[in-house]
Structure 1
Amino acid sequence: MFSGSIVALVTPFNDNGDVDYQQLEQLVEFHIQQGTDGIVAVGTTGESTTLSHDEHIKVVKQVVSFVNGRIPVIGGNGSNSTSEAVELTKRLNDSGVDAMLGVTPYYNKPPQRGLIEHYKAVANATDIPQILYNVPGRTQCDLLPETVAELSKVKNIIGIKEATGNLSRLSEIKALCDNNFLLFSGDDDTGLEFMLQGGHGVISVTNNVAPKLMSDLCRHALAGEREPAEQINSKLKSLHSHLFVEANPIPVKWCVAQIGAISNGQLRLPLVELSSEYHELLNSAMREAQVL
């Protein structure tokens, strides 16, 4: 069920800063029509840290409703508080999601044994499949391959989004886990090579801006077709890197507005509008990808 190009979806707001559900529906439809293989609703790119719990659950449920079974939906359930992550997980149990994605507890810097207990507690709160998410550049907490292997033994922990950008992690995790454990890149810049070396797909920021290209890239990469995949990736290289000139999702939300998929790049504090010094850089990247 889970493979290919999965978008880490932005959450659209109106000018007042409220979630705009009409735009959210349009955004979901845009991705389905462009060939996106799955949606992560209210992950970190979806600004989970500034949505209230009620908003968080409502956005996920609305995405499930808008998708209507056409592609898988993965709901974000991460927190740096285990009790809060468990609460979100329980509230998502009746949401209709196909899986949940839980980022490592940020800021706390728990030891590996703390990560094991955290993820076990979350997994025990549901029967829905769970996907681990390791992004130490944002969380200051690294989920090591040996810890991933231990957690892969939990019956409903089915995979990991690995966002270190370190391809050696892929081979380490593959060597320690069963073949059916799912491996997703969380780093667009190395996502192509990740798939060519045995990964199952990319949970992508770039997909927000260039969903058709990312879908085609993943399809070729997963088929082992390096040359056409590299040709597509060459058009996306600038987006892969420039979408992080400021903290995600500031640049990507600005770009999604520029291509007309949402009406504005509104964010919630402490995130602020993209600095004007980066506008032309990102416009150039979008022109290279032929989405602008």
Structure 2
Amino acid sequence: MLLDGIHVPLTTPFYPDGRLNLRKLEHNVRRLSLTPVSGLVALGSTGESASLTDDERAQVLRTVGAEAAKEKVLLAGIGLPSVFASLALAQVASEARFDAVMVEPPIEYGNLLWDDGNATTALLTYFEAIADASPLPVVLVSDAARVVLPIALMERLSGHPNVLGLLEQSSHISRVVQMRELTTSVARTVTTTITFTAATARMLHVPELAAAVGGSFVSAASLSGAAAGETAVATAPPVAALKTRTKQVGFQVLWAMAEGATEALRAGASGLLMPIASAVPQAAFEVWAAWKDGDVSLMKEKQGRLATAEQGIAPWDIPAIKAGSELSGYFGGRPRLPLLPVTGERAAEIATRLRGMRS
């Protein structure tokens, strides 16, 4: 799966009493599907996955899979405390036709790392067991706020045929540089459209009913049912198979902050997955568009504005991200307790920082 472009981590909406609000999730996904971003991330850094039940996580994935535009790459966060639970959620993501899963180690693994930066056998086994059995490609997650994955561990895992890439959630561009240098031998063949954009699982899926129809011509006799004395039934013509190409990609790295985005892309990052994009996806896409156009000065300007707003909101402050989304016409709502919503004063500060940015 091709991971370039802007990927938006979704928030998980709740009713005021804390129940999961799938109708608002549908609204957010449909609206984000109208933006030019490349993909959507369910149960990611802003998804409050830890506060959801197993059934609620499954409902979120099924809803996103059903409502997202087929052109959007779908990533599912499945990193749970056990390999068994993570793989069960990966199966749900596969059935909902997601394109890849994102796996971060449980926070308990933070104290299992040696001082020299190598991972313990337990941490390596966790990732390898998931990659071995996952029905979808795996994107590793290195989170500075939880567990920073050692470079040596990621280098070893990059050779696994089912490991697609890495989400780097830190402020160290050097880690992107190191991973690109250490994985130069990694090559993956991905399926794309004829214009070399990602060909998602939902784009490639041909409904069984349509595939069973032999041709687009429907005879008058079959419509009238005169010969058999049956009620006339019109059958839709078959869906044409998507024309595709293949493309060689290396180990793909996604950068997770507006701060340093220009430098990360220059260092070889494939795309950007920034929490602030949940509130202002169009503004986030403008950074990527300027990069693709080769307009470095415009990119720095766009990225600088986004980074300034990000510094005031805090990248992984879920209540603030939800408040920003609310200001941009998406449903943010309250986080689930024990997280508390932002105060009125804080909401006004967030509105000031986002003023003028396109959503």
TM-score (norm 2): 0.75
Residue in structure 2 matching 1:226, options 296, 304, 307? 296
CA deviation string 1:32-53 (max 9, x = no partner): 2221110001113111111111
Equivalent residue number for residue 131 of structure 1: 139
Equivalent residue number for residue 286 of structure 1: 354
Matches within 5 A, 1:77-88: 77-88=78-89
Residue identity matched to 1:237: A
How many residues are paired up?
287
Equivalent residue number for residue 171 of structure 2: 165
Matches within 5 A, 1:62-211: 62-109=63-110, 110-111=112-113, 112-113=119-120, 114-137=122-145, 139=146, 141-177=147-183, 178=186, 180-211=250-281
Residue identity matched to 1:129: P
CA deviation string 1:139-178 (max 9, x = no partner): 1x22011111100111110100001110010111111113
CA deviation string 1:124-152 (max 9, x = no partner): 22231110001122x1x220111111001
Equivalent residue number for residue 59 of structure 2: 58
- Check 1:159–1:290 CA distance in 2 against 1; reply closer, same or farther (3 A cut): closer
1:103 to partner: Cα distance:
1.4
2:264 and 2:103 map into 1 onto residues whose CA distance is 21
1:68 and 1:232 map into 2 onto residues whose CA distance is 26
Equivalent residue number for residue 258 of structure 1: 327
State percent identity of aligned pairs.
21
Judge conservation of contact 1:146–1:176 (CA < 8 Å) in 2. Answer: no
1:49 and 1:243 map into 2 onto residues whose CA distance is 21
Range 249-258 or range 278-287, more displaced: 278-287
1:290 to partner: Cα distance:
5.6
Partner SS, residue 108 of structure 2: coil
Equivalent residue number for residue 287 of structure 2: 217
1:147 and 1:36 map into 2 onto residues whose CA distance is 31
Backbone CA RMSD of aligned residues: 1.9
Partner SS, residue 91 of structure 1: helix
Judge conservation of contact 1:86–1:121 (CA < 8 Å) in 2. Answer: no
Q: Runs ≥4 in structure 1, deviation > 6 angstroms?
A: none
2:93 and 2:330 map into 1 onto residues whose CA distance is 27
1:244 and 1:68 map into 2 onto residues whose CA distance is 29
Equivalent residue number for residue 223 of structure 2: none
CA deviation string 1:209-250 (max 9, x = no partner): 1111111211222454311111212321222212218x6211
